[in-house]
A and B are shown apart, each in its own frame.
Chain A
């Protein structure tokens, strides 16, 4: 039988034959999606737990900032009472949310770089031949990365706990809204310069002492997802990001320093109004603030809105980049740029 025969035989019939084979098609139901999601997340965690050096370096980095940098700066930099803090806080306490966000950022960049590397070695290709929708696979992969980041964050918070940096007791979960519109935005967006605090619900008394560790979880997941999808998108577009030194210089350092991670924004404003506006344009600032308020049992609505918006945008862009027909993989000439 020649190939031509087979081709003509299949030509007019593939629709019909596809239907007749339909009965053998396994439906990818909800349990299948769940199994797939669990499998991807579990693999990320297993791989992480087997890399002890990675675990240690991820823990040591923020601890150096906390124990050395913050200890040195606590005398030179006083932090006044700004929301969500209700009293003067030590500098260590102020930068803890920033350091948590730094863990998320490092982790996001690392795991997205490993996805680029994976794409070359083929592990990414094994992921992408799964019959599940590609957007679901990428989202699962990102959430796997976020799970690993959460492990690192809680390891850091545990050490910080011994250093007596602990979230305050929380009696009530609140919505916090304060919006100081940048001057270049149209006046219609208005600005709320006095905070509006809306109580949501009370925290049971037995949970109050450690509630901050729980209320921060949604903030961590959201911030992790935003940074992860940003990193995934960037790594699929920008070839130069394939080495980590470039990522440090051009992504991590600028994002981390031009944000509210290390200093309150009003202090930056005193130093440089321009830098202040840059910090306010930096999505990382809002990730930091979301986490800061989350540790205090509060939802910062403006940060929430901005982080959700950026997450959606970055995620859509990353999924677009991996779309087989429109995407950038094909344009780049396949895995590793090799034809």
Chain B
């Protein structure tokens, strides 16, 4: 007992999902899903629309509870210790969640309040978060005046304000033009490299997977592959992630079905 508890807290994975299944009525949406995101690891959750990505995110963010299996954020069980778990979790949802009539800083201060920060601390955190995504000069502008990519960056800034260890992003680049996509991806990858965040990046866009990434392929509620990209390619005998995906899922093409 003594020896174990001496383990350095930095070793605790940012996110552990273990044997999670979930059904809506008779429909099984998640079937024994397990995955781990270490500190400073960028994990791509690859799956078509309807693969169960959003359900998994709902369970991790505790919109509703997982009935089977366990989910830990930095060692905290989201069901038993939701407050501690959620304090360490940042989320960028798929849908737009900013108030378009309010300014960037008003939006961020609202989120700071949701984590119990007020006054100067809230302002400082908001400014710091905007600096990370390169939008400090737009602090007073209304969200309405931003482009889609800029709004996404504000949502990333918002998810970082309470300094989480784990960042969930649900299809963060959907609907963005190429330039915006690249800047959003770069910002998040920088966070992983420089600040050691664990990131789970859900997408159906195969070209967002880098050759060195860890990838989890989710298909019809099941994890078909969980490992690094080179091993994925060699085990399937393919050259591209999209080909490997097609080989594993038995023909369905992510790009086509999603489009």
A112 to B257, CA, bound (A): 36
- Residues on A with C-beta less than 8 A from B122 are 35
If over half of A's interface residues share one DSSP class (helix, strand or loop), that class is named, otherwise mixed; here it is helix
What per-residue 1/0 map shows which CB atoms of B80-114 lie under 8 Å from chain A? Answer: 01111011010101111101011000100111111
What residue of chain A has the Cβ atom nearest to residue B84's Cβ?
A25
A330 to B104, CA, bound (A): 32
Contacting residue for A13 out of B4, B27, B29, B83, CB 8 A: B4
Q: Which of A10, A31, A335 contacts B13 (CB 8 A)?
A: A10
- The answer to whether A21 and B89 have CB atoms under 8 Å apart is no
* Size bracket of the A interface: 35 or more
A46 surroundings in chain B (CB, below 8 A): 99, 102, 106
Report yes or no: B114 in contact with A132, Cβ–Cβ below 8 A.
Answer: yes
**Is A217's beta carbon under 8 Å from chain B?**
no
Q: Say yes or no for B72: interface residue by CB 8 A criterion.
A: yes
Interface of B is mostly: mixed
B168 to nearest A CB, angstroms? 9
Q: Which residues of B contact A38 (CB under 8 A)?
A: 113, 118
Q: Note all chain A residues with C-beta closer than 8 A to B114.
A: 36, 39-40, 126-127, 130, 132, 137
Taking CB atoms and an 8 Å cut-off, the chain B residues in 147-181 that contact chain A are 158
Residues of B within 8 A of A7 (CB): 16, 18, 34, 36
- Is A131 interfacial (CB-CB < 8 Å)? yes
Inter-chain CA distance A38–B65, complex, in Å, is 28
Q: Which residues of B contact A132 (CB under 8 A)?
A: 83, 114, 116
Determine the chain A residues whose CB is within 8 A of the CB of B81 once the complex forms.
18
Q: List 20 A-B contacts (CB under 8 A).
A: A7-B16, A10-B75, A17-B5, A18-B77, A21-B76, A25-B84, A31-B118, A35-B112, A39-B110, A39-B113, A40-B113, A46-B102, A123-B99, A125-B91, A129-B86, A131-B115, A131-B116, A324-B63, A334-B54, A334-B63
5 A-B pairs with the lowest CB-CB distances in the bound complex, closest first = A39-B113, A32-B116, A330-B64, A35-B118, A50-B101
